[in-house]
Amino acid sequence: MSGGSLRAEVCRDTEGFGRLAPEWTALYGRCSSATPFQSHSWLHSWWVSYGRPGALRVVLVRDGRGALVAAAPLMRARGPLPVLTQLGGAITDFTDVLLDDGRPDAAAALASAVARAARGAVVDLREVRPGAAAERVFAHWRGPRRRLPDSLCLELPAVPMEGLLARIPSGKAQRVRAKLRKVDALGIDARIVTAPDVPAALDRLLALHRLQWRGRGVTAEHTSARFAQHLARAVRPMVERGDAMVTEFRLGGDVVAADLTLMSPRLAGGYLYGADPVLRERKVDVAAMLLRHGARETSADGRATLSMLRGSEPYKHHWRPDPVRNRRLLLTGPATAPLLWLRAGAAGARRRAAQEVRERPWAGRLLARLPGAPG
């Protein structure tokens, strides 16, 4: 791909970020490592719900004809130290930059552009999936840098259900088949929601999610108005482009479960679901039902990975998934290297404390009693 020398610019306003949608979407399609969380719909909607005035720093690299060949969706983080971090926040499982596969020079150009935009600050990229485009920017970075472990994700091959059942012991596989026969005998049917019906379906999904977790410690952000507004803006255009799929499961005409799966050409991930407690009462294995449907629908288009996204909940391990550790990339200039080491040290201390709590529950109870402990 030709296009001459590369030049950089920084977008700092919400309206300008919104106008980038067509060329951002085209670049997203030319970046093979991108996940659905790098789509313009997801990031711009997240910024509208969660962003702060004056904090936006979207770094763009264009070729000599003005075509977008690289982009880093960044913002100024809250806190006393100068930090640039990624858009997407805690509700985004994978963060990354975008690099045009046809421009091998784009990574070095984006690294230089980010370094200029972040002068005097640390760049802190959380939840970077192995093989992400951000790793190429990290490789071209000329200043101090650190790579740290981040969240654990569990992944399966994107194959139909029989292929997933072959991964587990035969006795357990037979029990899963029996549970799925029960789902079919009850007459639960799955319907993929078309784009015009997505807003109403998301309302039902969130209502079922709240009902499912009532009294059991739901993630508070998933019940917030801004999260609902973010999904309402982001998901319909993602469905229209094939970056997301909303499915409703009906029993006797009533929606008893709903699922949101996010998709890219290489990866699909079950992002959020809700299920009526009546399914538990009827001993329906909701996880197996959702996985069978997701495996069937997402394996048909040549994807390699069916991700269970972040978290190591016991039910995920039933399927013998492959553990994949996200990375945290810290980058800065020579003058601000002490800030990087300070931030990396704090991250390591938090990681060790979390490990201590997992291995020794009494340590968590002790920490909770200390002055200044949360809650």
Residues 325-344: pLDDT tens digits? 999 999 999 999 999 999 99
Q: How confident is the model at residue 368 (pLDDT cuts 50, 70, 90)?
A: low
- State the pLDDT at residue 1: 36
Q: How confident is the model at residue 219 (pLDDT cuts 50, 70, 90)?
A: confident
Q: How confident is the model at residue 373 (pLDDT cuts 50, 70, 90)?
A: very low
Q: How confident is the model at residue 374 (pLDDT cuts 50, 70, 90)?
A: very low
> Is the model more confident about 371 or about 132?
132
Would you say residue 181 has pLDDT above 80? yes
- State the pLDDT at residue 371: 47
Q: Are 103 and 67 in contact (CB under 8 A)?
A: no
Which H, E and C letters describe the chain, residue by residue? CCCCCCEEEEECCHHHHHHCHHHHHHHHHCCCCCCHHHCHHHHHHHHHHHCCCCCEEEEEEECCCCCEEEEEEEEECCCCCCEEEECCHHHCCCECCEECCCCCCHHHHHHHHHHHHCCCCEEEEEEECCCCCHHHHHHHCCCCEEEEEEEEEEEEECCCHHHHHCCCCHHHHHHHHHHHHHHHHHCCEEEECCHHHHHHHHHHHHHHHHHHHCCCCCCHHHHCHHHHHHHHHHHHHHHHHCCEEEEEEEECCEEEEEEEEEECCCEEEEEEEEECHHHHHCCCCHHHHHHHHHHHHHCCCCCCEEEEEECCCHHHHCCCCEEEEEEEEEECCHHHHHHHHHHHHHHHHHHHHHHHHHHCHHHHHHHHHCCCCCC
Q: How confident is the model at residue 375 (pLDDT cuts 50, 70, 90)?
A: very low
Show the tokens assigned to 183: 């789902």
Would you say residue 15 has pLDDT above 90? yes
CB neighbour list of residue 140: distance below 8 Å, 6 or more residues apart:
107, 108, 111, 112
Q: How confident is the model at residue 2 (pLDDT cuts 50, 70, 90)?
A: very low
Show the tokens assigned to 213: 């977790």
Would you say residue 49 has pLDDT above 60? yes
- Amino acid in position 102: G
Show the tokens assigned to 224: 């917030």
Where residue 36 falls (left for φ over 0; alpha for ψ -120 to 50; beta otherwise) is alpha
**Calpha distance 176→159 (Å, rounded):** 16
- State the pLDDT at residue 354: 66
pTM: 0.91
What average pLDDT does the chain have?
A: 92
Q: Of the candidates 167, 239, 174, which has an alpha carbon nearest to the alpha carbon of residue 202? A: 239
> Is the model more confident about 368 or about 323?
323
Strand 7-11 to strand 56-62: parallel, antiparallel, or no bridges (unpaired)?
antiparallel
CB neighbour list of residue 145: distance below 8 Å, 6 or more residues apart:
138, 329, 330, 331, 332, 340
CB neighbour list of residue 313: distance below 8 Å, 6 or more residues apart:
none
> Is the model more confident about 117 or about 365?
117
Write out pLDDT tens, residues 130-179.
999 999 999 999 999 999 999 999 999 999 999 999 999 999 999 999 99
**Calpha distance 375→40 (Å, rounded):** 36
